[in-house]
Amino acid sequence: MSDGWDPVAFKTRVDAVLRAFLTEEAEQLVAIDDELEAVAEQLKNAAGHGKRLRAAFCYWGWRACGQPDSDALVRAAASMELVHAAAIVHDDLIDDSPLRHGLPTAHIALEPALGGRPEPGAAARSLAMLVGDHLMALAGHLFTTSGLPAAYLARARGLWTTLARDLIAGECLEILRSGGRPDTDASLKVIRYKTAKYTVEQPLLLGGLLAGAADELKAGYSAYGLPLGEAFQLRDDLLGLFGDPEHTGKAGLDDLRTHRPTALLAETWKAASPAQREQLRLVLGRQDLDGTDLRMVRELMSRLRTPERIERMIFVRVERATRALDDVDVPPPARRALVELARQATDRLH
């Protein structure tokens, strides 16, 4: 096993796989009918961004078992990015988010193609939903046609069902708990199922299953992956409210407009006085929020030191994740890569 771990080179490999795969799929859509051009374009661009962390965790789940580098494994790992792309399209629809990576989200970008038709916005949302569904199907297709032996793929088949179930459960729990009384434990459960599992733990386990990982190593992957995945989303929620939209590429008011059940909001609510809770009630769930409302909430959270508490939660989870690596026998290059990935996943400017 090479000691070198070059995230940029790995991202380039994954990008190339996704670009070629989605371009071919988009061409096949247009071959059915030229009117599908706008849908095909959204499909082609859906996975055009990101650091490829999910693919990297799958890759190192494989390499940590002592397996060599493999182009087929990189193709299988790239399928994790299509799962993410599908989740993003659906998430943006659920939250009615206008921006992602500084660009119009799928349902916004598709609306011009429906100009002059009755209710183009509703039709664009329907098209975006189908793009997200297709991306999830394509993730499985890329995985199973990666070029890995059928016996290897069979080991991972059951986890695909679990991954989809957990992701949908997390999305449903977020919808069911949006607008409710903020609660940290309830928010962390949403995080765990909606994001943490498919971002870190399950890609690692898929790589390990493909490589024939022993039960002890798989347990170690979960002990590392779950807290790290939670830390990843805690950082994302913090950036969502306090980050600069020019860097995050997201609308800073989304979580407030949707009254999303974030741990950041729950910790603020827990520390707030009755008068401060009333301030929050006047903001949460309103569709006409502006920069003044955002500043008020930021100032309130800062006074209550909520961001510091979330930072502490992130720190504790990253420490727990990296310590878990001490309890499993993995080659030193894999250990170093997983420690570095933990830093990349949680020490983000955007």
How close are the terminal C-alpha atoms of the chain, in Å?
Answer: 32
According to the model, what pLDDT value does residue 348 have?
Answer: 67
Residue labelled with tokens 């989200």: 105
According to the model, what pLDDT value does residue 116 have?
Answer: 78
287 burial level (CB within 10 Å; 0-12, 13-18, 19+): exposed
According to the model, what pLDDT value does residue 258 have?
Answer: 86
According to the model, what pLDDT value does residue 302 have?
Answer: 96
According to the model, what pLDDT value does residue 247 have?
Answer: 66
Backbone angle region of 105, left / alpha / beta, with phi > 0 → left and psi within -120 to 50 → alpha: beta
Query: CA-CA distance, 167 to 94, in Å (whole number)?
Result: 14
According to the model, what pLDDT value does residue 110 have?
Answer: 95
According to the model, what pLDDT value does residue 4 have?
Answer: 64
Query: CA-CA distance, 132 to 100, in Å (whole number)?
Result: 14
The four Cα atoms 116, 250, 14, 172 give a dihedral, to 10 degrees, of -80
Indicate the CATH number of 7-346 among 1.10.10.10, 3.40.50.2300, 1.10.600.10, 3.40.50.300: 1.10.600.10
According to the model, what pLDDT value does residue 38 have?
Answer: 95
Could you tell me which of 175, 350, 194 has the C-alpha nearest to residue 259?
175
According to the model, what pLDDT value does residue 98 have?
Answer: 87
Could you tell me which of 227, 204, 231 has the C-alpha nearest to residue 323?
227
Q: Return the half-sphere exposure (C-beta side, CA atoms, 13 A cut-off) of residue 255.
A: 23
Domain residue extents for the chain:
7-346
CB of 10 within 8 A of CB of 340?
Answer: no
CB of 187 within 8 A of CB of 270?
Answer: no
Per-residue pLDDT of the chain (350 residues; tens, 9 = 90+): 445 689 999 999 999 999 999 999 999 999 999 999 999 999 999 989 889 999 999 999 999 999 999 999 999 999 999 999 999 999 999 988 888 888 899 999 999 999 778 889 999 999 999 999 999 999 999 999 999 999 999 999 999 999 999 999 999 999 999 999 999 999 999 999 999 999 999 999 999 999 999 999 999 999 999 999 999 999 999 998 998 776 666 667 888 988 989 999 999 999 999 999 999 999 998 989 998 999 999 999 999 999 999 999 999 999 999 999 999 999 999 999 999 999 999 986 54
